[in-house]
Amino acid sequence: MAAKKGSKMKADIVIIGGGGAGLPAALAAYEKGSKALVLEKRGMVGGNALMAEGFFAAESPAQKRLLIDAKKDDLFKKALDYAHYKIDPRIVRVFINRSGDTVRWIEEKGIRFNRIAPFYPNQVPLVWHIVEGHGATLMKIFEKECKEKGIPILRKTRAKEIWVDDTGRVKGVKAEGEEGEIEIEAKSAIIATGGYASNKELLKRYCPEHLEMLEESGVPGMDGDGLIMAMELGADTAGLGNLHMVGPAPFPQNWTIEAVAGEPYCIWVNQKGKRFIDETITFNVFEAINAILRQKGRICFAILDNKMKEDIVEHGFIRGCGELFVPRGKKVEGLDKELSRQIDKGGAFISESLEEISAWIGAPRDALRETVDEYNVFCDRRYDEIFVKDPQYLQALRIPPFYAIKFSGALIGTMGGIKINYRMEVLNKADDPIPGLYAVGADTGGWESDTYCAVLSGSAFGFAMNSGRIAAENASDYIQGKR
Ligand SMILES: Cc1cc2nc3c(=O)[nH]c(=O)nc-3n(C[C@H](O)[C@H](O)[C@H](O)COP(=O)(O)OP(=O)(O)OC[C@H]3O[C@@H](n4cnc5c(N)ncnc54)[C@H](O)[C@@H]3O)c2cc1C
C-alpha cells in the first residue's frame, strides 16, 4: 500500500518497522480489536528476521511433542545468572513466560516446528525452534495474514518523528513515503525499527567494542531511527552499547570459509602466531568473539593442515555455520575452489611451509612453527596443558600444505537501546512510561547483557516476536482505556 503526498491517515496504533517484532505486533493488535498500521522503510518487510534460523521458546507445544523438558522457571534463573543480574528480571520473565504460547500462536497459522536444535554440544534443554526456510518463512505468513486482516503496511515509508500532545501523550507519527510526507494520527506507537547496526556514527558513539572492520551481517537500514525518535521524546536507555556479535568471521565474509575457520580441530592464533584459547569455544560464537576481540588488532587466524581440509571435504563439517547456512556432516563439494577464491582476495593463505605462513600473518618466522610443535606434543599426549582443549578435538597438524584463514567477528545487530518495562512501555529519565509509546525487539535494552546468552538460543528473534505481541496487547488496553 502506498500513501499519497501530504496524506493524513488515522490508526489506533502505528507500528514503526515491519520486521520480526513489528509484524507480530500488528497481528496481536488486530486480535485485541485495535486498528494497526505498519510503516516499513524498505520495499519489503521482514528486516533481519528474514535471516534468523530459529527462535527461543520454553514449554512450547513443539517441545512437549518432542519430550523436551524446558522449564520456564529454570531458564529464567539461567538467564539472570548468565547476565550477572545486569538485566531487568521482569522483562525476562514476561518474555520467557510468553514464549511457549507464541509457538502455539504461530502453529495455529499453519506451520509446525519439528526441529528444536542444539546451539552447542550437549545443550540442555533444547530451546532453539528452527524455522525451515529461515525467518523469511514466518515473515511471509505474518505478511499474508496482515493482508487478509486488512492491516495496512506502508512500504518504502520511513517514520521520521513521533509527536505528542501538551501532556506528553502520543498523538501520531510523521513519515516520509515515496510521494512525500504523511501524518498518521494515533494514540499509540510501537517502535520496532531493529536497532542501529547500520549507523556507523551511533556505533562509534555508543559501542566501545565496535570496530569498523566488523562485517555487518544484517540487512541494511538499521539506522537507529527508533532510538533517535524515542530519545527526542526524552526516553532513557538501557544496555546501550551492547552488541550482538559472533566470531570467527572471515574477511571477506563467506559462510563456507567461516565454517572452515570454525572447525574445532583447527588451531587459532593471533598476529604473534600464538594460540590464545581452547578452540572449541567455536561452538559458542557469542563467547568466541570475546576471546577474538581481546587479541591485538582484533585479527586472528585459523590454521589447519591438509588432512583436516580433506576430512572436511570427505565427512563434512563438525560445527558448520548455524543450523541452516552451512549444514554439518555433509560432504563438502568445491571447498578447494572456495579456499582459492579466499586466497585470491587476500583472506587466506596456503603454503607447504609454516614459516611462510607465519610471515604472512605478520608474526616472527619461527613463531607458528613453535606453536604448532607445542600443540602437536599436546595432541600426542592427549592433553592440552595450556587451554585444556577437549581431547576429542586434539589433532596434530603435520600434513602439508597448511592453510591460514584470516578472521575477526561479525556484527549481527545491536542488543541495547531504548529503556522499557515489562509492558514494553518506553520509560523516560524518571523511569515513568511515556503514555502511548512502546518499543520492542532489537530497539530495546534491558533483557540481554553484554554477551548474548546462548543458553537461551534464539532469544533475539524470540524476544522480538514476544515483545511485539506483548506491546500490542498493552497498547490496545491503553487506547481502549482499560489501563
Ligand atoms: C544473519 C542473521 C542471522 C540471525 N539469526 C538469528 C537466529 O537464528 N535467532 C535469533 O534469535 N536471532 C537471529 N538474528 C537476529 C534477529 O534476526 C533479530 O534480533 C530480529 O530480527 C529483531 O527483530 P526486530 O523487529 O527488532 O528487527 P528487524 O527484524 O530487523 O525489523 C526491523 C524493521 O524495521 C524497519 N525500519 C527501520 N527503520 C525504520 C523506519 N524509520 N521506519 C519504518 N521502518 C523502519 C527495517 O527496515 C526492518 O524491516 C539473526 C540476525 C542476522 C542478521
Of all residues in the chain, the percent with pLDDT exceeding 90 is 92
Question: Mutation test of ligand 1: which of 178, 191, 193 has the most ligand atoms closer than 8 Å to its C-beta?
Answer: 193
Supply φ then ψ for residue 379, to 5 degrees. -65, -45
- Beta strand ranges found along 59-142 (DSSP E): 116-117, 128-130
pLDDT tens, 363-399?
999 999 999 999 999 999 999 999 999 999 999 999 9
Cα-to-centroid distance, 157 and ligand 1 (Å): 17
Cα-to-centroid distance, 395 and ligand 1 (Å): 39
Cα-to-centroid distance, 355 and ligand 1 (Å): 44
Query: Is the beta carbon of 48 within 6 A of some atom in ligand 1?
Result: yes
Q: What's the average model confidence in pLDDT over 89-108?
A: 98
pLDDT tens, 347-365?
999 999 999 999 999 999 9
Query: Is the beta carbon of 16 within 6 A of some atom in ligand 1?
Result: yes
Closest-lying ligand 1 atom to the alpha carbon of residue 462: 11
Which residue puts its alpha carbon closest to atom 53 of ligand 1? 218
Of all residues in the chain, the percent with pLDDT exceeding 70 is 99
User: Residue 467's pLDDT band (boundaries 50, 70, 90)?
Assistant: very high
- Looking up cell 560432504 gives 331
Cα-to-centroid distance, 45 and ligand 1 (Å): 10
Whether residue 230 has pLDDT greater than 90? yes
Cα-to-centroid distance, 35 and ligand 1 (Å): 23
Supply φ then ψ for residue 220, to 5 degrees. -70, 160
Q: What pLDDT does residue 208 have?
A: 78
Query: Is the beta carbon of 41 within 6 A of some atom in ligand 1?
Result: yes
Which residue puts its alpha carbon closest to atom 5 of ligand 1? 52
Q: For residues 291 and 278, give the distance between their C-alpha atoms in angstroms, rounded to a whole number.
A: 10
Query: Is the beta carbon of 42 within 6 A of some atom in ligand 1?
Result: yes
Q: What's the average model confidence in pLDDT over 47-73?
A: 98
Query: Is the beta carbon of 22 within 6 A of some atom in ligand 1?
Result: yes
Which residue puts its alpha carbon closest to atom 50 of ligand 1? 52
Domains belonging to the chain, first-starting first, are 8-242+415-479 (3.50.50.60), 244-411 (3.90.700.10)
pLDDT tens, 10-27?
999 999 999 999 999 999
Q: What pLDDT does residue 215 have?
A: 74
17, 176, 179 from 6: Cα distances, Å: 21, 10, 8
Q: What pLDDT does residue 324 have?
A: 85
**Backbone angle region of 475, left / alpha / beta, with phi > 0 → left and psi within -120 to 50 → alpha:** alpha
Closest-lying ligand 1 atom to the alpha carbon of residue 244: 15
Q: What pLDDT does residue 402 have?
A: 98
Pick from 5, 34, 7, 16: nearest CA to 162: 16
Query: Is the beta carbon of 414 within 6 A of some atom in ligand 1?
Result: no
User: Residue 323's pLDDT band (boundaries 50, 70, 90)?
Assistant: confident
Q: What's the average model confidence in pLDDT over 123-134?
A: 97
Closest-lying ligand 1 atom to the alpha carbon of residue 22: 25
Query: Is the beta carbon of 52 within 6 A of some atom in ligand 1?
Result: yes
| Helix/strand/coil for 196 | coil
Whether residue 78 has pLDDT greater than 60? yes
Question: Mutation test of ligand 1: which of 182, 455, 461, 470 has the most ligand atoms closer than 8 Å to its C-beta?
Answer: 461
pLDDT tens, 278-301?
999 999 999 999 999 999 999 999
pLDDT tens, 423-464?
999 999 999 999 999 999 999 999 999 999 999 999 999 999
User: Residue 318's pLDDT band (boundaries 50, 70, 90)?
Assistant: very high
**Backbone angle region of 298, left / alpha / beta, with phi > 0 → left and psi within -120 to 50 → alpha:** left
- Asked whether 161 and 131 are in contact (CB, 8 A), the reply is no
Q: For residues 40 and 107, give the distance between their C-alpha atoms in angstroms, rounded to a whole number.
A: 25
114, 277, 345, 388, 402 from 267: Cα distances, Å: 35, 9, 22, 13, 12
Q: Sign of dihedral through CA atoms 100, 103, 107, 108?
A: positive
User: Residue 142's pLDDT band (boundaries 50, 70, 90)?
Assistant: very high
DSSP H stretches of helix in 119-177: 135-148
Mean of per-residue pLDDT scores for the chain: 96
Query: Is the beta carbon of 413 within 6 A of some atom in ligand 1?
Result: yes
Q: What pLDDT does residue 293 have?
A: 93
Q: What pLDDT does residue 290 have?
A: 95
CA–centroid distance for 437 within its chain: 24
Whether residue 1 has pLDDT greater than 70? no
pLDDT tens, 180-215?
999 999 999 999 999 999 999 999 999 977 777 677
Query: Is the beta carbon of 461 within 6 A of some atom in ligand 1?
Result: yes
Query: Is the beta carbon of 460 within 6 A of some atom in ligand 1?
Result: yes
User: Residue 217's pLDDT band (boundaries 50, 70, 90)?
Assistant: confident
Query: Is the beta carbon of 17 within 6 A of some atom in ligand 1?
Result: yes
* 231: number of Cβ within 10 Å: 15
